[in-house]
Structure 1
Amino acid sequence: MDVCVIGGSRYFGRLLVEELRDAGATVTVINRGSAPVPRGVIHLRADRDDEAALNAALAGRSFDVVVDQVCYSPLQAAIAARAFTGRTRRYVLTSTVEVYAELGRPGGAALPEQAVDPSAWPVDLGLAWDDPQFRAERYGEGKRQAEALLTQEAPFDVAVVRTAHVLGAGDFTGRLDHYIERIEQGLPVVVHPAPQPASFVHAPEIARFLAWAAAADFTGPVNAASRGTLGVRELCAAVGRVVGLEPRLVAGTGEPVSPLSFDRSYAMDTGRVDRLGFRFGAVADWLPLVLKEVRG
């Protein structure tokens, strides 16, 4: 299999590149070159937002499948749709649980893929998607419209992998470090008054799933999450067991809450991924190991 990965320079994107390479695929990574790529892969340097540079880097090349790790707007999706026309038969877009951000409700049911239908979601290319701050403030909507643009306009097959909140060693966001440091130091952890459950996935596991999805033939969105949900209280209890201290949780009233506390359900329905034949592990099995890795 000849695979192109857009991004793939850090965290589970890098794990994906290594997973594909070790499985015997020919892997080409396209990014701006901010970090070295793993051994044994082809590296093309281009800014995906620069359509002329992207086309120049891709000249004379074609791929069985593209896995796009860093598409955050419909504008980026439109450039990719044009650039890869005639160059691939399949496109796997790495999306996010954040597409459901406004849909979850306290005590609500797990959200299925059809709650956000990319074949019908409106796309507005006239918004300021080329402004990084604008994109960051509209992360979920940017991902929804990127899904929609590719689904509705790309001439190749499109699969959308909506990843749960990814946890693992090497998480550059520092979310788990926040909990470990505060609980180790005896500092309070600020949470919502009624924290809601969320879906999570282990970084190596989502890398394996994306590699599996690259070789599969399904299309449309699929929720990718480990079995079982996790609330911030359960997360803090798990951290407490690792560090040997009792967490101090306080309900936030004005100050910012901790990064994995949610006031609405972020639970994802994983029935489709089960039917497709991929079996994710359970959060309870990998979380203690991840906490020990992050703590060092």
Structure 2
Amino acid sequence: MENVLVIGGNRYFGRQLVTRLRDSGARVSVLNRGSTAPPPGVEQLVADREDEAALGAVLAGRDFDVVVDQVCYTPLHAEGAVRAFAGRAGRYVMTSTIEVYDTGEHRPVGVPLGEDVIDPAQWPVRSELPWRDRGFRDGAYGEGKRQAEAVLARSGAFPFAAVRAGHVLGADDFTGRLAHYRERIAAGLPVAVHPADLPSSYTHEGEMADVLHWAAGARFTGAVNACSHGELTATDLCDLLAQGSSYRTAAPASGEEASPFSFERYYGMDNSRAEQLGYSFSHTRDWLPGLVAATSR
């Protein structure tokens, strides 16, 4: 793995991935719209992936051992990737998500989701849907990822792997999800938690960067789940963030959204395929207390 392209990769665990690849000795390029400069020693290619003429121009004459796609959200993105990288990528790794399993079906508690629950070879692709509309795309995030995986898996354009990330937590999280809990607890306000309060799977931002680095240099194809051992419920997060202080939870009121990471369905993932392939995951207790302490300062 000498020549790697990361599409996106300018924030959160994507930036850590770029740094890991660079420090491992790979020649790394980052493709994005140019809003943020990459780390030192990393080449920046500026193009909007949805502008295929501009993408083709910036990629002209370039080949890559591995492409890691951090921002493939729709089947249109995936179809454009097939056209752009067929014949010039030795391996293609897509950063996918636990949200591909959000199909409305409920799993028995304690029976974690294996990769075969969602088979890209069988999933229908609806490219005619309004994927270019940001509101539609955001509301259909899991479906967009499922269809993107399906397009890339079926294309045959390159060896393809999808890394399905558990909910990623980290000090650099720009979504404000942990801050939501901390602010509600500090203000003495109830945290909206579903009565079922069922667990889900998580990973640390550094671990997610590490597993993507591993996947880039591996040979497997197909999907792997990426999550730490040790599932967590919303109240588990409250307990950690409250740090011994009292707090209140309440069921979401009519029309109110539950707090982030509060689920009515069991959402645990089985990470055994990745471990059988050679990756060793941490446990949430290894990193969550330190993360809570770091983000409480």
Task: Give TM class, smaller chain.
Answer: over 0.9
Distance 2:275 2:247 in 1: 35
Distance 1:138 1:191 in 2: 23
How far apart are residue 240 of structure 1 and its match? Answer: 1.4
Distance 2:219 2:66 in 1: 10
SS of equivalent residue, structure 1 residue 144: helix
Equivalent position of 1:182 in the other structure: 184
Distance 2:12 2:156 in 1: 28
Q: Is the 8 A contact 1:198 1:267 kept in 2?
A: yes
Equivalent position of 2:245 in the other structure: 245
Distance 2:226 2:9 in 1: 18
| Count of aligned residue pairs for this structure pair | 294
Distance 1:72 1:146 in 2: 7
Is 1:36 the counterpart of 2:37 in the alignment? Answer: yes
How far apart are residue 106 of structure 1 and its match? Answer: 6.0
Residue identity in the other structure for 2:100: V
| Aligned positions of 1:1-296 closer than 5 A | 1-102=2-103, 103-105=105-107, 107=109, 109-241=111-243, 244-254=244-254, 255-296=256-297
SS of equivalent residue, structure 2 residue 192: strand
Q: Is the 8 A contact 1:106 1:263 kept in 2?
A: no
How far apart are residue 154 of structure 1 and its match? Answer: 3.9
Distance 1:294 1:72 in 2: 29
Residue identity in the other structure for 2:122: A
How far apart are residue 283 of structure 1 and its match? Answer: 0.6
Distance 2:107 2:196 in 1: 12
How far apart are residue 108 of structure 1 and its match? Answer: 5.6
Distance 1:121 1:105 in 2: 19
Residue identity in the other structure for 2:46: R
Distance 1:130 1:224 in 2: 28
How far apart are residue 104 of structure 1 and its match? Answer: 3.7
Residue identity in the other structure for 1:245: S
Q: Is the 8 A contact 1:106 1:196 kept in 2?
A: no
Distance 1:49 1:11 in 2: 22
Distance 1:133 1:77 in 2: 19
Q: Is the 8 A contact 1:177 1:295 kept in 2?
A: no
Alpha-carbon spacing, 1:106–1:235, altered in 2? closer, same or farther (3 Å) = farther
What RMSD in Å do the two structures reach over aligned CA positions? 1.1
Q: Per-residue CA shift, 1:235-254, capped at 9, x if unaligned?
A: 1011112xx41221112232
Distance 1:165 1:147 in 2: 18
How far apart are residue 133 of structure 1 and its match? Answer: 1.2
Which has the larger displacement, 138-147 or 281-290? 281-290
Which has the larger displacement, 214-223 or 127-136? 127-136
SS of equivalent residue, structure 1 residue 95: strand
The normalised TM-score by structure 2 is 0.97
Q: Is the 8 A contact 1:104 1:111 kept in 2?
A: no
The normalised TM-score by structure 1 is 0.97
SS of equivalent residue, structure 2 residue 124: coil
Distance 1:287 1:247 in 2: 19
How far apart are residue 98 of structure 1 and its match? Answer: 0.2
Q: Per-residue CA shift, 1:130-189, capped at 9, x if unaligned?
A: 111111111000000000000001410000000000000110000001111111222211
Specify every segment of 5 or more residues in structure 1 that has no aligned partner in the other structure, as ranges. none
Q: Among all aligned residue pairs of Structure 1 and Structure 2, give the percentage whose two residues are the same amino acid.
A: 55
SS of equivalent residue, structure 1 residue 110: coil
Distance 1:85 1:36 in 2: 27
SS of equivalent residue, structure 1 residue 230: coil
Distance 1:147 1:245 in 2: 43
